[in-house]
Chains A and B, each alone.
Chain A
């Protein structure tokens, strides 16, 4: 059974940093594109960043230059380092698994989400 478990959420001040982790199990992490999707309180879903099995990363324009996605396939872990946080970065961050091996498409498994608050 595929499981994704996020951790590392919490509170930060504007300009601060947080690092999210996502522990994966039940599948071979290195074979799949992994993605972070966020949801501001009461709002819709927003694609944030993804990373291929080989480590190629893509970012939404709103986070490019501030967030860094990475993965440790040997430890079955996905990470999102968030720097220079802004108020509009607040929300729930989900890690999600790609549907097909080595392909960018839809997401068939999601974590439960990690809550990030940004406030002075």
Chain B
């Protein structure tokens, strides 16, 4: 199975900050990577797909980049509603696998 490793596991930031989360795959997943946001007690929400394509309705302060094995999620001008846990997911090889999550808090 492809291992997805996110860093950091948790990060503290303030409103207005820029935050970058990285995701590293143990094998080449090309550009077949997605990012999700999950708030406590809620289902995950798709933010980015195909490594850098913003999902419809997601604010433009979210952006994704990377290909192959190294990917990043960047959140500019952090807003209060962005405090959540973020997961990457590879969709290149079965079984599809997720990173362990990055918790973003104040």
Contacts and interface: CB of A to CB of B under 8 A. Distances in A.
A70 B67 CA distance: 34
Interface residues of A, number: 19
Interface string A57-84: 0101100000000000000000000000
B19 interface: no
A104 B95 CA distance: 11
A44 B89 contact: no
A94 B55 contact: no
Contact of A108 (B32, B55, B89, B101): B55
Interface stretch (B10-18, B43-51, B73-81): B43-51
Nearest to A95: B43
B96 A47 contact: yes
Interface in A21-56: 37, 44-47
Nearest to B55: A108
B91 A94 contact: no
Interface string B27-66: 0000010101010001111100100000100000000000
Interface of B: 32, 34, 36, 38, 42-46, 49, 55, 87, 89, 91, 94-101
Interface of A: 37, 44-47, 58, 60-61, 94, 99, 104-108, 110-113
